[in-house]
Amino acid sequence: MTLFRESWYLMGRLLIILLRQPWYVALTLIQPIIWLVLYGQLFRRVVELPGFRSSSYIDFLTPGIVIMSALFSSGWTGMGVINDLDRGVMDRFLISPVQRTAIILSRLMNLSVITIVQSLILFGLGAILGARYPGGPIGLFVLLLAAILLSMPFGALSIAMSLTVRKEESVIGAVNFVLLPLTFTSPVFMAATLMPGWMRTVAHFNPVNWAVEAGRGALQATASPGAILLRVGLLAALTIASGWIATRAFRSYQQSA
């Protein structure tokens, strides 16, 4: 219980910082909102293509944009770590009695809160634009769960990289290098059935694909519970593995500090 209590208090610090900078959430939402509105209108006729398996592109696009937003928000988690490193906050944590794991866990919990808020805003905008889902509240819950389970491992990896390279420029370059290909080799914007063969193969091993298909399948009530559980399980396993990597990176930082 001590770990979660300490993580909770540290998350409170991060939320206070976030509330003092509400523009951060707004800025991270600008791009996905633009994509949802513009792409939703620009490609609405794509549903007429054979094999698309959806009658409304906004129904198809909204879950993908929610997942994409969670992915990119997670990529910038390490920037807050670098800020703490530069200001000496991290070193003060190291001489305090707080558990080291709590420092990482608090940032992932804070990221989860941001992900939920952003996801609900984007989902609400999709509903305003006409998105309708037979999956109902359960489908929305699965979408939020998939978004969180995607954001946490990439947030942990972002933290690990920040503790390793300790340079903003390196983190920014790595985030763009990794996240953009992951986004465009997943069915965020286009149905997997219409992708080239090699891209479909890559998508099978793409965590973004797991999250998108789990959330979209639950909302549209087109995926079996077993398929959804498998994808959620893969995301959970990735979260655990990434958390371990972040913990190892923190230990390496301690030894070098």
- According to the model, what pLDDT value does residue 98 have? 83
Q: For residue 152, is pLDDT > 90?
A: yes
- What is the mean pLDDT of the segment spanning 107-119? 94
* pLDDT > 90? residue 96: no
Which pLDDT value is given to residue 161? 94
Average of per-residue pLDDT values in the chain: 90
Amino acid identity for residue 6 in this structure = E
Q: Quick check: 186 and 213 in contact, CB under 8 A?
A: no
Checking if the pLDDT of 1 tops 60, the result is no
In degrees, rounded to 5, the angle at the alpha carbon of residue 243 between the alpha carbons of residues 239 and 173 is 90
Which tens digit of pLDDT belongs to each residue from 215-232?
A: 999 998 887 899 999 999
Share of the chain above pLDDT 90, in %: 58
DSSP secondary structure of the chain: -HHHHHHHHHHHHHHHHHHT-THHHHHHHHHHHHHHHHHHHHTGGGGGSTT---S-HHHHHHHHHHHHHHHHHHHTHHHHHHHHHHHTHHHHHHTSSS-HHHHHHHHHHHHHHHHHHHHHHHHHHHHHTT---TTHHHHHHHHHHHHHHHHHHHHHHHHHHHHHH--HHHHHHHHHHHHHHHHHTTTTSS-GGGS-HHHHHHHHT-HHHHHHHHHHHHHHT-S-HHHHHHHHHHHHHHHHHHHHHHHHHHHHHHHH-
How far is the CA of 165 from the CAs of 82, 107, 154, 244, 245, in angstroms? 9, 18, 16, 18, 14
pLDDT of 20 over the 90 cut: no
Residue 119 has pLDDT above 90, yes or no: yes
Percent of the chain past pLDDT 70, that is, above it, reads: 99
**Separation between Cα atoms, residue 3 and residue 11, nearest integer Å:** 12
pLDDT of amino acid 207: 97
Segment 154-202, tens digit of pLDDT: 999 999 999 999 888 888 899 889 999 999 999 999 888 888 999 999 9
CA distance 50 to 87: 56
pLDDT computed for residue 150 by the predictor: 98
pLDDT of residue 243: 94
Mean pLDDT value of segment 235-245: 97
- Give the tens place of pLDDT for each residue, 36-65: 999 888 888 888 888 787 778 999 999 999
Q: Can you tell me the distance from the alpha carbon of 193 to that of 63, in angstroms, rounded to the nearest whole number?
A: 17
* pLDDT for residue 192: 87
- Overall average pLDDT of the 252-256 stretch: 83
- C-alpha 161/C-alpha 150 separation (Å) is 17
Q: What is the pLDDT of residue 47?
A: 85
The model's pTM: 0.93
